[in-house]
Amino acid sequence: MFTVLLICGGLVGFYLLMWVTVLQQPKCKSTAKLYGRTVIVTGANTGIGKATALDLAKRGARVILACRDERRAQAAVTDIQRESGNKEVLYMHLDLASLKSVRSFAENFLKKESRLDILINNAGLLVGGKTEDGFGRIFGVNHLGHFLLTILLLERLKECGPSRVVTVSSISHSGGEIDFDCINTHKDLGLGNSTLALLKLYGHSKLCNVLFTHELAKRLKGTNVTCYSLHPGAIKTDICRHIVLWILLLFFADVESGAQTSLYCALQEGIEPLSGRYFSKCAVQNVSAKARDDAVAKKLWEVSERLVGLA
């Protein structure tokens, strides 16, 4: 019995040590208020996106929840309005798995809204299948949909500057690769539907996010728009139910913690010179050479333009 208690105590101690040293996410310390500012958060009906939208609403922003599922999004709107006391929170339909929907969202937004100060490309998924346009679903939603959305809204962001584009990537980008032959042949970043194959595809798509931000920053030089990619941490979100055993969730932080680096990139003063960089734990981080490869980033941009019909 004593041995069992000793083992349990050791495990608890190990978990607490992991929580303090690795798992706990620092808080965004910005006190910025956003009255009169408009923000779009994709995938804001749940998880990190919802926590991000709530914080921004508490700061007084007009927050657009850009989501596919109307029922869940309207429920999130109600929750956020109640918790923030801000009625300037609304839902607009956006299905990132449909380039037609992305274009429709951008058109409707530009007609109805006079400002856009912050665009947070938060939505992401880890499931197989194809998009409406025949792309791999992970590739289409995590990269191509956000790529098109950002390009279609760039002029409004420039008009309202200083403004920011924040794209939620992942530390899994470090294991990603960009196979242009596979993209050209199969309209996807890789092949296979096993759990391992999907995890690899997810990593590839998150590398796309980092390279997209790297190239976007180059193209925004001389404007008053800056951009950042980030790793939110190991967070308990809906995506986890597809990939982890419940016991592993003990090592995942909550969604409020997961929103902190997104908020830092959206709000923190003085990080403009770091446009195009990658952040984690509310701080800029170095990335591997492949995640800042100018030639690959430029080629990915040009290929993405062609795939979404901009070239």
Beta bridge pairs of residue 40 = 64, 119
Of 253, 262, 213, 247, which is closest to residue 233 (Cα–Cα)? 253
Which residue among the candidates 91, 202, 228, 278 is catalytic per the annotation? 202
**Three-state DSSP class for residue 5:** helix
Distance between CA atoms of residues 116 and 158, nearest Å: 9
Exposed/middle/buried for residue 22 (C-beta within 10 Å: 0-12, 13-18, 19+): exposed
Known active-site residue 202: yes
Distance between CA atoms of residues 86 and 83, nearest Å: 8
H or E stretch at 165: strand 163-168
Distance between CA atoms of residues 82 and 86, nearest Å: 7
What is the identity of the amino acid at 143? H
- CA 46 remoteness from chain centre: 13
Q: Would you list the DSSP string of 243-285?
A: T--GGGGGGSB-HHHHTHHHHHHHH-TT-GGGTT-EEETTEEE
Active site residues: 202
